[in-house]
Amino acid sequence: MSSVASIEAIDLDEDGWLLDAHTGEPVPEPWLRDYFAERLTPPAWATDILVYVHGWQTSPNSAHRTAERLTALAHDNLAAAPARYPALAAAGFNPWCVVVRWPSSSPVTPAGYRKIRDRAHAMGARDGDGHAAHILGRLLGYLDAERADPGAAPVLATRDGQFLHLIGHSFGCRFVCEAVQWAADARLDYTLGWHSVNGSSSHPFAADSMLLFQMAARRDAFLSLFPHILPSEEHDGAPLRGPIVATYSRHDRATGFWHLRAEQQSGIGHSGIGPAPAPMYTTRLLPLAERYPLSALDHRFVNIDASDVFVRGRRLNPAGAHSDHVRPESAHLLLTLADYSR
What is the gyration radius of the CA atoms in the chain, in angstroms?
Answer: 18
Domain ranges of the chain: 6-341
| Main-chain dihedrals φ then ψ at residue 326, nearest 5 degrees | -85, 80
pLDDT per residue of the chain (342 residues) written in tens, 0 to 9: 444 468 999 999 999 999 999 999 999 999 999 999 999 989 988 999 999 999 988 999 999 999 999 999 999 999 999 999 999 999 889 999 999 999 998 887 778 888 888 898 889 876 667 899 889 988 988 887 888 654 443 333 344 478 889 999 999 999 999 888 877 665 544 432 323 333 334 444 568 899 999 999 999 999 988 887 876 555 555 567 789 999 999 999 888 876 666 677 789 999 999 999 889 999 999 999 999 999 999 999 999 999 999 998 765 566 778 899 999 999 999 999 999 988
Contact 249, 243 (CB under 8 A): no
Tell me if 157 sits within 8 A of 151, measured CB to CB. yes
Question: Taking the model in full, what pTM does it have?
Answer: 0.89
**What DSSP string describes 122-177?**
HHH-TTTT--HHHHHHHHHHHHHHHSPPTTSTTS---TTSSEEEEEEETTHHHHHH
What single DSSP character describes residue 107? Answer: -
Residue 129 burial (10 A CB sphere; 0-12, 13-18, 19+): exposed
